[in-house]
Structure 1
Amino acid sequence: MLIFSVLAAAIAPGVALLAYFYWKDRYDTEPLSMVVKMFLTGVLIVLPIMIVQRGLMIWLGESPFAFSFIVSAGVEEFFKWFVLYHIIYNHTEFDEPYDGIVYATAVSLGFATLENVMYAFGEPATFGTLLVRALLPVSGHALFGVFMGYFMGRAKFQEGRKMRFFLWISFLFPFFWHGLYDFIMQSVPRSWIWLIVPFMFLLWYRGIRYVNRANSVSPFRLLKREEEVKS
């Protein structure tokens, strides 16, 4: 019974955050099967990420900067970006800018959920530690997914240099914020709470702005308004 409770507590934050961003899609909800597929893809990339990270840690040592920006943010965001680009970017279901956010958060939260489960069973986990992880690393991964998906959504509906520019930004932007988050956690262990709380507020502020912006440029927005007027 205890194992089930710990497992549920470890999984619940990721599922809840995914449901939140899924329901934020105002105009053309994505097929749930595709969202679940991308969530499970996020789960599957945990193992190769861990293998690459282990090799890099042996090579680069224990530098907080190297760990934060290369081992953690660099490897994790690259794998997420890679599977999004090769599985979703040219998919027919990716037909409005907000879809990038839905699928990117699905991949990110699949990764974060398995990571959270491994943490819960790898160390003595209490309700307090799982709550802190829900508020910090799990929601952090969700927001890095929002950033990645927003700019990938912008790239999808551009051409030429603008498309390439936003594709680069869709990796570099979450990479920077993820690396900065980890660097704060690594370099100021005694006073991190005073930095990470406002930092998380900033991430949520930017994330919600991107959610609203992506919805505001949906090609289905006018169609929905016309349907509402006719009805």
Structure 2
Amino acid sequence: MIISVLAAAVAPGAALLAYFYLKDRYAPEPISMVIRMFLAGALVVFPVMVLQRAVVLAFGENPFLFSFVYSAGVEEFFKWFLLYFLIYKHVEFDEPYDGIVYAVAVSLGFATVENVIYSLLDYKSFSQLLFRAFLPVSGHALFGVVMGFYMGKAKFHTGRPLGLLAVSLAFPVFYHGLYDYILIELKRYWIWLIVPLMVFLWARSLWKVNHANSRSPLRAVYSEDEVKLPT
């Protein structure tokens, strides 16, 4: 039973990571680097949970503060911190889409461990695991797409990237906080707002994936190689 629950808890994160990894059209990232960032996101779960608990005990459980600061603010900052200091200046970060790949890896590492913890401690039914796969886990992936998209823009921006780096943190915090706030405050009618929000995030994320790929400096190189292939 435990093995089945663990497998069901890990599978959504692994599937989503594979999906966004395979969306990289030009020079996919080394799998070892992607796994490393996934593990970095997984390892940060426990210090984040301790910090969140300490903040709640110190300042109370105001729904707005909990959603946008204690939950979204703390979690997205730690993910952003890992991305900036571990990968932003790395030689493997050589095209805009790489920001999305690595941000999604960190986010899904975090989401997968969080999902395993909640599934083991509060398992009620398989439908609960499906709910967590479609909402919390995919939500983390989509927040990661937003973060990575703007971090990729900042990396290859010709001017000063500080504004884009700030946006790469601000937007995920906003979307994550809005997601949490809807679930906390609208206990009876949350689905009427969460579904449109998730549809919007998926649509915007797929647009960001295509846009980031289209801005790759490697695009011209790969196009030339395709032209030179013998017929």
The TM-score normalised by the length of structure 2 is 0.98
Give the letter aligned to residue 114 of structure 1.
Answer: V
- How far is 1:124 from its partner? 2.5
- How far is 1:41 from its partner? 0.3
Asked if 1:78 corresponds to 2:77, the answer is yes
Give the letter aligned to residue 67 of structure 2.
Answer: S
The Cα offsets for residues 145-194 of structure 1, whole Å up to 9 and x where unpaired, read as: 00000000000012443x11100000001011000110101110111111
Superposition pairs for residues 1-231 of structure 1, below 5 Å? 2-161=1-160, 163-231=161-229
Which deviates the most, 12-21 or 59-68? 59-68
Q: CA RMSD in A?
A: 0.8
Separation (CA, whole Å) in 2 of partners of 1:123 and 1:132:
13
Query: What SS is found at the alignment partner of 2:141?
Result: helix
Identical columns (%): 62
Separation (CA, whole Å) in 1 of partners of 2:212 and 2:150:
9
Separation (CA, whole Å) in 2 of partners of 1:89 and 1:210:
18
- How far is 1:63 from its partner? 1.0
Q: Is the 8 A contact 1:60 1:66 kept in 2?
A: no
Segments of structure 2 that go 5 or more residues without pairing to the other structure are: none
Separation (CA, whole Å) in 1 of partners of 2:122 and 2:133:
16
Please list every run of at least 4 consecutive aligned residues from structure 1 whose deviation after the TM superposition is greater than 4 angstroms.
Answer: none
The Cα offsets for residues 78-131 of structure 1, whole Å up to 9 and x where unpaired, read as: 000001000000000000000000000000000000000001111123110000
